[in-house]
């Protein structure tokens, strides 16, 4: 793994657990076993690391998503695969997003731009689901796409609950399963219920 990739991976690990502001460049260097100078030879500052990390996470997410988009893909099954992958990813401390929106406006703007781009794709994705007969014809796809992308803010609101009785991965999975089931036709609901039944038996 190249040094830049190593730095980004370790930054992801630390930022996700402790937030961004509480992780110093010295701590990042020490955890990698390299000098702080080496970090600055590859990145301008912490914001540059954060920006590069968010771009990498976006590109990795898009690449993983594209793997499921064959010509004959089923929209509901793709939703379920993405939900499954996302719910198994490392937990992200809500402080991570709090720090971005409070201290890093340029990165927050990048996230907003990504959300707007995803919104356009999601509308097309949901329309395909309608055409396939898995998503309800009466669905307002603009509102539905907006709700999916705005779900990030649910993490922020939940972070203010003292000792929440659920993990953030559980929150995401419950929220998204119920959302997809709610917008699905009977044909789509059968696929979701079969998935939930299989989950229960496992």
The pLDDT tens digits of the residues spanning 44-71 come to 999 999 999 999 999 988 888 888 887 6
Which pLDDT score, from 0 to 100, does residue 62 have?
A: 84
Q: What is this structure's pTM?
A: 0.83
Please determine, looking at this structure, whether the domain spanning 1-67 carries the CATH number 3.30.70.980: no
- Which CATH code fits 71-202? 1.10.357
- Which residues touch 78 (CB under 8 Å, ≥6 apart)? 65, 68, 69, 125
Q: What is the mean pLDDT of residues 7-16?
A: 96
Note whether 80 and 184 are within 8 A (CB).
Answer: no
DSSP 184: B
Helix (H) or strand (E) holding 199: helix 186-201
Range among 21-35, 95-109, 112-126 rated most confident? 21-35
Over range 89-95, report the average pLDDT.
78
Domain 1-67 identical in fold to domain 71-202: no
Q: Cα 69 to chain center, whole Å?
A: 18
Is the pLDDT reported for residue 153 higher than 80?
A: no
Q: By the 8 A CB rule, do 191 and 76 touch? A: yes
Q: What is the pLDDT of residue 139?
A: 98
Any idea where the domains of the chain sit in the sequence? 1-67, 71-202
Region 18-25 average pLDDT: 96
Task: Please count the CA atoms within 13 angstroms of the CA of 11 that sit on its side-chain side.
Answer: 25
87, 61, 115, 167: CA torsion to nearest 10: 20
């Amino acid at each position: 793994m190249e040094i830049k990739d190593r730095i980004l991976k370790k930054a992801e690990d630390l930022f996700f657990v402790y937030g961004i502001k509480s992780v110093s460049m010295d701590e990042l260097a020490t955890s990698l076993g390299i000098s702080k100078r080496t970090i600055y030879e590859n990145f301008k500052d912490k914001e540059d690391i954060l920006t590069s990390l968010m771009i990498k996470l976006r590109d990795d997410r898009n690449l993983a998503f594209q793997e499921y988009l064959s010509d004959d893909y089923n929209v509901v099954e793709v939703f379920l695969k993405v939900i499954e992958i996302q719910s198994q990813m490392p937990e992200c401390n809500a402080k991570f997003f709090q720090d971005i929106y409070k201290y890093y406006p340029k990165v927050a703007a990048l996230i907003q731009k990504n959300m707007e781009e995803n919104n356009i794709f999601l509308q097309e994705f949901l329309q395909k689901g309608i055409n396939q007969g898995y998503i309800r014809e009466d669905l307002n796809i603009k509102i539905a796409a907006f709700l999916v992308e705005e779900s990030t803010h649910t993490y922020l609101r939940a972070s203010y609950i003292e000792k929440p009785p659920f993990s953030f991965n559980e929150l995401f999975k419950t929220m998204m399963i119920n959302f997809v089931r709610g917008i699905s036709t009977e044909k789509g609901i059968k696929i979701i219920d079969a998935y939930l039944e299989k989950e229960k038996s496992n």
